[in-house]
Amino acid sequence: MRLRTIMTIIFCISAIAPLAIFWLWPQSRVLDSEINDAKERHMIIAKNLEVSLDQYYLNVVKTFEYFVKDFASVSNSKPRAELLGHLYINSICMINKETRNVVRSIKSLDHTCPKSIKRTRLNWMNEQLADSFEKTVLTSVMQSADSGNVLYALYENKTSIFVGTISTQYLINMGKNVKFGNKGHAVILDKSGNALFHPREEWTSKRANLGNLNPVKKIHNGQKGVDVFYSPTLREDMITGFTQTKSAGWGIMIRQPVSGLLDKTSEVKHTALFVMTIGFFIALGLAYFASKVLTHPIEQMVISMRRIGNGELWAHEKMTEGRFSPKEFSDARDSIKTMAKKLQENIDTISRHAYLDGVTGLPNRECFRVLAQEEIEKLSISGNSGALLFLDLDGFKQVNDVYGHRAGDDLLLAFSQRLHEYCGIFMKRYARGVNNALTVLPARLGGDEFVVFLGNISGPETTSEFSEQLFSKVFGKFNLHNGVNLDISGSVGGAIFPTQAGDFDELLRLADIAMYEAKNSGKGRYCLHKDADDYFDNISVSDKFENS
């Protein structure tokens, strides 16, 4: 038996009594019920918005610190500009604390950094960064040079201050997305009570301070909940759910006029009176109509859930809310929408972090492919040469088998840290100007396999020198978890661009072959692919290194 048939039978039996009781129910109790439902709804919306803003703040801080900690090797490439633009980070400036000059910057779109900053501005930054050395500090909302509103992310190390300029557009967009019921809306405040978003645009643009409102005072005291207060601006009582994000301290208010609930209770009572007047003689027709109203949202939700399960994350947008849909179905529909949106946000977050290796923090295979291809395109234009080195740890499987995967992960992390540090030192040693400077890009392919791309090399002797010092600077003794001490060696193979290969895949393949040649020659060796001997005046780097 279908649900519609069951509901029709039940409705016909019980149509009159419940309607009569509902009509006799005091309006004040109906209003109380609506207020309680509204409080629950407002708090759910406030918590959902809190989760989204917390996730956005963490993404901004992690991305900002990622660029800051590796600022020397970061360039203004299109993927990086897109990543910053996706998070509404306009620019990141590196300021020398002694000279107050901006020595380097990263930007998205057409935003730029000034050449230097005033001493008063530097003093202000020092005040913001008090007791926050090498920690990110996010300021209150401020007016930018173009009269817009921005937040500043600040980070200080021994020599420099890094300033990230963050547009408030994401917060404005999130606030605009919250619309419900009769004049239901959101208000987002910074930690000082200034408006990051308010439905009145002039309040947003002027960063109006709402610290005198009771919910805002409670937010600043660390409280969360629902309150009814009188709004002097709107001149009516407002139901407000309020909370605060854990990370940034942003305040969130979900507000709706109480008058909107009065209108709803009046509508319900008039509908009940109309149905009772029509009477039992049309109860069957009303039963069919009611069953259709109640089952249609369920059918929509089942279809939407099935489509979401098949990967159509925005299938919930086709779900419509009927005028008479019960609140439970509205909440279920809202939960499905929230679930789908949160799933999409998680997918976006995973996509942003998919280019980093989870164990070592180095770029993974896909990220390395993108970065190396960028360098190959630059070398093709400049006519310079490059090399790809393939590194493999000797005996890594035995480390996992004997000491466990914890020790294996510790070894990979320690090895990657040494490799990263060594690459930075080697690159600085051969700095020859902006256009011809040596580029060194390390990454982890997977397992115990690492790769390094060298750009703008002067000859195979550069790869020989780099690889030779790997065995003394990177490979060697490691002190791991639980007192495990290991002496790790490795094998290194290399291939030259463009003489041996003209694209990334071929370079990687030849370097892999050369690495196995080195491993088969006794391990602990470096071998350049043999075809490189025909380039750079027939210099045999492999023989030269192995015979040294």
User: Domain for residue 515, yes or no?
Assistant: yes
Dihedral angle computed from the Cα positions of residues 514, 516, 522 and 524, in that order, rounded to the nearest 10 degrees:
70
Say yes or no: 462 and 539 in one domain: yes
Final residue belonging to a domain, choices 295, 318, 351: 351
CA–CA separation, 311 and 192 (whole Å): 41
Say yes or no: 347 and 370 in one domain: no
Say yes or no: 308 and 256 in one domain: no
User: Domain for residue 345, yes or no?
Assistant: yes
Q: What is the pLDDT of residue 544?
A: 34
Weakest-pLDDT range from 35-44, 167-176, 189-198, 460-469: 35-44
For residue 190, the 8-state DSSP code is -
Radius of gyration of the chain measured on its C-alpha atoms? 32
Tokens of 208: 């109006």
Q: What is the pLDDT of residue 352?
A: 56
Final residue belonging to a domain, choices 321, 351, 381: 351
Q: Average pLDDT in the 253-278 region? A: 72
Say yes or no: 202 and 318 in one domain: no
User: Domain for residue 384, yes or no?
Assistant: yes
User: Domain for residue 422, yes or no?
Assistant: yes
Say yes or no: 419 and 395 in one domain: yes
The full DSSP string for 36-66 is HHHHHHHHHHHHHHHHHHHHHHHHHHHHHHH
What CATH number did the domain enclosing 190 receive? 3.30.450.20
Residue 547 has pLDDT above 50, yes or no: no
Q: For tokens 């002067």, what's the residue?
A: 458
CA–CA separation, 211 and 223 (whole Å): 14
Backbone phi, psi, residue 87, to 5°: -95, 5
Say yes or no: 395 and 527 in one domain: yes
pTM of the complete model: 0.46
User: Domain for residue 70, yes or no?
Assistant: no
Final residue belonging to a domain, choices 324, 351, 378: 351
> What does the buried/exposed string (b/e) look like for 519-546 if buried means 16 or more CB atoms within 10 Å of the residue's CB?
beeeeebbbbbeebbeebeebebbeebe
| Domain that residue 213 falls in | 170-260
User: Domain for residue 317, yes or no?
Assistant: yes
Q: What is the pLDDT of residue 548?
A: 29
In the chain, the number of structural domains is 3
Q: What is the pLDDT of residues 507-528, one digit of tens each?
A: 999 999 999 999 998 888 999 9
Q: What is the pLDDT of residue 537?
A: 39
Q: What is the pLDDT of residues 376-399, one digit of tens each?
A: 999 999 999 999 999 999 888 888
Rounded to the nearest 5 degrees, what angle is found at the Cα of 94, between the Cα atoms of 88 and 96? 155
User: Domain for residue 541, yes or no?
Assistant: yes
CB 164 within 8 A of CB 64: yes
Say yes or no: 525 and 429 in one domain: yes
Say yes or no: 388 and 534 in one domain: yes
The number of beta carbons lying within 10 Å of the beta carbon of residue 429 is: 10
Say yes or no: 531 and 428 in one domain: yes
